[in-house]
């Protein structure tokens, strides 16, 4: 498939495609910046390519080289299920690139983030402003010459910026001009803000809405309140030190993030993990998925004032956490997966514990359903609310339960199986209406399917080693480190210099609870990643929120936001 993709691009754009690459199976094409838009359009429209989904836009700072920045786009086709990486280089003096928002509307936020972090300007972008950082921020932090410890000047009252930002801008700053500026009866719209400190915006997000009565006329979703510099932190540490940080991306299902990251590093090395390890990863991952879905369902119920199902959901989650705790050593911050393996094998009695707890969680799920699904109030709040047609969702780069609720069959475990998913039987639930009710039901069914997967894995898991036996990648066995010279030396070298993948770049996308979580890693041959990009589903999923709630009542924002299941750490990195 990827053979045809690159051939086709080359054929159609013989002079504009400067280079192609298939490192580790990733189809990658470097194009001239001026022709980026044409290539993008072709990639989307051509029937053999049909790259209708833009997953990610980011940049790599090759400081010292000219042109300095390489802007990278990751594309996916929901029909052909193949991938493409489009790259274009821009120079330091004038880092401008045409925006691809005319082709994929979801490029909007992604390009804003690239601008925020690298200072790359996208011409033709409808609204190029910072997204994560505040307006007075000086510099672009992901550039290699921006030191991690650099302090920023204070803003606000008493700072050199003088008047407080609040005084100058009584309402939200820097919003795009409103689509409508007059309400019914010719009255003025009321602008209020929801969040970032608000009981319903769990995960700190700020939504500035213009209201006409109770109807939302315009909305601007502002994320970034939980931005902690994940990428910059990973660049300054070794590959193995990034794993606890990936825990903190989607902290409700941390193991799935660990899995995605470690699979990406293993792809850089070009190694496969043994079968037992893969089964363990699937079991741990599905447990995390169950926990995440329970949070989503529970929080949705909570914010619709149904407190009881929320507590049932948390109880179910406690049972799952007991399992994760026994396996990984931590509930939320699991730190379970390692490069080339897992941190520890299943403890004794684990399978029995799973078989004890999972049926109880399913029972609790049934009780939650009993309280919610047919309840008329719940139905009234959820049915028909927050709809967007599937094509629009795809254009925004939305995936996961959100997209499946709209009827699109896209589950990476089924479309591009990884680990041992190709040996397992499970169903992928799809909705039909694409509204909140479908999203809710899809997640409920996914919990059941995850439980099914776990049971199959427990039956099928083979004996054998739990880690790769390549000593340049995996730390040696502890008991041997205490008494054997070569292993002691290995431990020292591994800890102090880290595993060193060969230079190259890879992208690995796996199905996390909210959609495709992708890791784009660039290695320069040293023990520290040159670039460690996390493509997080919550970020792309949050983009269409404004569209979903436009024209609806203010109260409809709550269940819509809840069922997008924005996890702050994942959205803001």
Partner 1 sequence: MPTITIDGQAIEAPAGAMLLPVALENGIHIPHYCWHPKLSIDGSCRMCQVEVEGGPKLVIACNTPIRDGMVVRTKTPAVENTRRGVMELLLVNHPLDCPICDKAGECLLQDYSFAFGSRRARTREPRRKLEKRKDIGPRMILDQERCILCRRCVRFCREITKTNELGVFNMGDHSVLDILDDKPLANDYSINTADVCPVGALESKDFHHKLRVWFLKKTESICPSCSNGCNITVHHYRDRIWRMMPRRNDAVNDTWMCDHGRLNYKHVNSAERLRQPLLRRNGQLEACEWDEALTAVAAALRRVARETEGRGIAAVASPHLTNEENFRFAQLLLTLGVRNVDVAVVIGSSDNFLIKAEKAANARGARDMGLQPASGGLGLPTILEAAAKGEIRVLYVCGPDLWQTTDRQQLEQALASIECLIVQDIARSPLTERAHVVLPSLTFAEKSGTFTNVAGRVQRLHRAIAPPEGQLGDGEIFSRLLALVTEGIPAFEPAAVLEEIAAAVPAYAGLTFDRVGALGWQLPGGTTQPLPGATA
Partner 2 sequence: MATRTVAVARPRAASQRTTLGMWLFGARAILKGMALTHRHFLRNLWGFIRRKPTVFTVQYPEQRLPFPNAFRGMPVLVQMDNGKERCVACGLCEWACPTDCITIYPAETADEIERHPEVFDINMSRCMFCGLCEEACPEEAIVMSHNVEISAFSRRGTLWHKDDLLVPVSKLAPRLEHIRGSYDR
Q: Which of 164, 355, 492, 503 binds partner 1 (CB under 8 A)?
A: 492
From the list 22-30, 186-194, 364-372, 546-554, the region that binds partner 2 by CB under 8 A is 364-372
Backbone angles phi and psi of 313, in degrees to 5: -65, -40
Q: Which of 113, 210, 220, 487 binds partner 1 (CB under 8 A)?
A: 487
502 interacts with partner 1 by CB under 8 A: no
Alpha carbon distance 263, 506 (integer Å): 10
Contacts (CB under 8 A) with partner 2, residues 426-465: 426-433, 437-438, 441-442, 444-445, 465
- Residue 178, both tokens: 């409103």
**386 SS3 class:** coil
- As given in the structure block, the two tokens for residue 537 are 């589903």
Residues from 205 through 244 that contact partner 2 (CB under 8 A)? 237, 240-244
Which residue in this structure is represented by tokens 């050593």? 329
484 in contact with partner 1 (CB under 8 A): yes
The answer to the question of residue 428 lying near partner 1 (CB under 8 A) is no
Give the one entry of partner 2, partner 1, none that residue 244 binds, where binding means its C-beta sits below a cut-off of 5 to 8 angstroms depending on kind: partner 2
7 binds partner 1 per the rule CB under 8 A:
no
Q: What angle do CA 293, 545, 98 make, to 5 degrees?
A: 120
**13, 471, 547, 554: which one contacts partner 1 (CB under 8 A)?**
471
- Binding site partner of 485, from partner 2, partner 1, none, Cβ cut-off 5-8 A by kind: partner 1
Distance in angstroms (rounded) separating the CA atoms of residues 259 and 279: 12
Among partner 1, partner 2, none, the one that 379 touches (CB under a kind-dependent 5 to 8 A) is partner 2
> What tokens does 218 get?
């315009």
Closer residue to partner 2 (CB): 131 or 447: 447
Q: For partner 1, which stretch binds (CB under 8 A), given 253-261, 267-275, 283-291, 478-486?
A: 478-486
Using CB under 8 A as the binding rule, whether residue 475 contacts partner 2 is answered as: yes
* Residues 124 and 102: beta-carbon distance below 8 Å: yes
Under rule CB under 8 A, how many of the chain's residues touch partner 2?
A: 73
Instruction: Find out whether 194 and 209 touch, Cβ atoms under 8 Å.
Output: yes
CB of residue 440 to partner 1, shortest distance in Å: 52
CA–CA dist 318, 339 (Å, integer): 28
Which residue in 490, 516, 556, 570 binds partner 1 (CB under 8 A)? Answer: 490
Tell me how far CA of residue 86 lies from CA of 70, 71, 74, 100, 383, in angstroms.
10, 8, 6, 11, 39
Binding span for partner 1 by CB under 8 A among 333-341, 431-439, 484-492, 558-566 = 484-492
Contact assessment for residue 33 and residue 97, using Cβ atoms and an 8 Å cutoff = yes
For the bound state, the minimum distance from the C-beta of residue 545 to partner 1, rounded and expressed in Å, comes to: 46
Contact yes or no for 182/188 (Cβ under 8 A): yes
Q: What residues are paired with 20 via a beta bridge?
A: 29
Residue ranges of alpha helices (H) inside 194-253 are 230-235, 243-247
Report in angstroms how near the CB of residue 322 gets to partner 2 at its nearest.
8
Q: Is 272 helix (H, G, I), strand (E, B) or coil?
A: coil
Return the closest-CA partner of residue 342 out of 252, 452, 461.
461
Q: Name which of 291, 218, 298 is nearest 257 in CA terms.
A: 291
Told to check if 471 binds partner 2 by CB under 8 A, we report: no
Neighbours of 239 (CB within 10 A): 26
Is residue 417 a contact point for partner 1 (CB under 8 A)?
no
171 binds partner 2 (CB under 8 A): no
Report the sign of the C-alpha dihedral through residues 227, 74, 446, 245, in that order: negative
Partner from partner 1, partner 2, none binding residue 417, C-beta < 5-8 Å depending on class: partner 2
Residue 79 contacts partner 2 per CB under 8 A: no
Residue 66 makes CB contacts below 8 A (sequence gap 6+) with 91, 92
Give the Cα separation of 173 and 166 in Å (integer): 9
In the list 3, 15, 432, 496, the residue contacting partner 1 (rule: CB under 8 A) is 496
State the nearest-atom distance from the C-beta of 338 to partner 1, in Å: 18
Residue 65 structure tokens: 């080289």
Does 486 bind partner 1 (CB under 8 A)? Our answer is yes
Interface with partner 2 (CB under 8 A), residue from 79, 193, 333, 550: 333
CA 516 to chain centre: 6
For residue 432, state whether it binds partner 1 (rule: CB under 8 A). Answer: no
- Closer CB to partner 2, residue 110 or residue 412? 412
Identify any residues that bridge with 206 across adjacent strands, giving them in sequence order.
Answer: 222
Part of the chain binding partner 1 (CB under 8 A), chosen from 46-54, 134-142, 302-310, 486-494: 486-494
Considering CB distances under 5 to 8 angstroms, the limit depending on partner class, which of partner 1, partner 2, none binds residue 427?
A: partner 2
Of 84-92, 212-220, 321-329, 518-526, the segment contacting partner 2 by CB under 8 A is: 321-329
Residue 466 sits in the site that holds partner 2 (CB under 8 A): yes
Examine residue 332 and tell whether it contacts partner 2 (CB under 8 A).
no
35 binds partner 2 (CB under 8 A): no
Q: C-alpha angle with apex 105: 99 to 107, nearest 5 degrees? A: 50
| Binding region for partner 1 (CB under 8 A) | 471-472, 480, 483-490, 492-493, 496
């Amino acid at each position: 498939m990827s053979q045809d993709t690159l051939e086709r691009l080359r054929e159609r754009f013989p002079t504009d495609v400067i280079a192609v690459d298939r490192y580790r199976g990733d189809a990658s094409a470097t194009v001239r910046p001026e022709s980026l838009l044409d290539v993008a359009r072709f990639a989307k429209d051509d029937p053999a390519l049909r790259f209708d989904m833009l997953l990610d836009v980011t940049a790599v700072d090759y400081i010292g080289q000219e042109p300095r920045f390489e802007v990278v786009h990751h594309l996916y086709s929901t029909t052909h299920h193949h991938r493409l990486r489009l790259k274009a280089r821009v120079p330091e003096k004038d880092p401008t690139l045409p925006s691809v928002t005319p082709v994929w509307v979801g490029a909007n936020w992604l390009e804003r983030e690239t601008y925020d972090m690298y200072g790359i300007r996208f011409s033709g972008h409808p609204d190029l402003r910072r997204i994560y950082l505040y307006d007075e921020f000086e510099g672009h932090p992901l550039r290699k010459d921006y030191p991690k410890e650099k302090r920023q000047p204070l803003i606000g009252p008493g700072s050199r910026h003088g008047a407080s930002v609040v005084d100058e801008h009584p309402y939200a700053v820097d919003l795009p001009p409103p689509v409508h500026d007059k309400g019914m009866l010719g009255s003025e719209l009321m602008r209020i803000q929801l969040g970032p400190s608000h009981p319903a915006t769990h995960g700190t997000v700020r939504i500035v809405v213009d209201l006409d009565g109770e109807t939302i006329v315009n909305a601007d979703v502002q994320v970034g309140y939980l931005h902690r510099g994940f990428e910059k932190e990973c660049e300054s540490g070794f590959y193995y030190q990034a794993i606890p940080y990936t825990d903190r991306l989607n902290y409700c299902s941390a193991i799935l993030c660990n899995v995605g990251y470690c699979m990406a590093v293993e792809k850089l090395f070009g190694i496969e993990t043994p079968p037992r390890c893969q089964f363990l990863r699937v079991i741990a991952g599905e447990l995390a998925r169950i926990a995440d879905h329970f949070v989503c369902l529970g929080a949705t119920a909570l914010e619709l004032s149904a407190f009881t199902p929320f507590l049932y959901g948390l109880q179910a989650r406690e049972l799952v956490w007991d399992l994760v705790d026994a396996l990984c050593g931590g509930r939320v911050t699991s730190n379970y997966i390692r490069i080339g393996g897992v941190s520890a094998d299943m403890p004794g009695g684990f399978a029995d514990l799973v078989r004890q707890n999972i049926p109880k969680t399913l029972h609790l799920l049934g009780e939650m359903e009993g309280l919610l699904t047919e309840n008329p109030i719940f139905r009234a709040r959820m049915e028909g609310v927050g709809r967007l047609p599937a094509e629009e969702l795809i254009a925004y780069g939305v995936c996961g339960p959100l997209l499946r609720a709209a009827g699109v069959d896209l589950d990476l475990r089924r479309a591009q199986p990884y680990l041992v998913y190709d040996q397992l039987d499970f169903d992928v639930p799809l909705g039909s209406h694409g509204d909140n009710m479908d999203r809710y039901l899809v997640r409920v069914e996914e919990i059941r399917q995850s439980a099914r997967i776990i049971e199959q894995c427990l039956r099928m898991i083979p004996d054998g080693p739990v880690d790769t036996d390549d000593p340049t990648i995996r730390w040696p066995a502890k008991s041997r480190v205490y008494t054997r010279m070569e292993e002691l030396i290995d431990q020292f070298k591994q800890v102090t210099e880290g595993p060193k993948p060969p230079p190259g770049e890879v992208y690995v996308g796996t199905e996390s609870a909210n959609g495709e979580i992708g890791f784009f890693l660039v290695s320069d041959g040293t023990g520290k990643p040159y670039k460690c990009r996390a493509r997080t589903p919550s970020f792309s999923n949050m983009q269409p929120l404004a569209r979903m709630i436009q024209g609806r009542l203010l109260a409809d924002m709550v269940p819509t936001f809840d069922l997008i299941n924005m996890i702050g750490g994942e959205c803001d990195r």
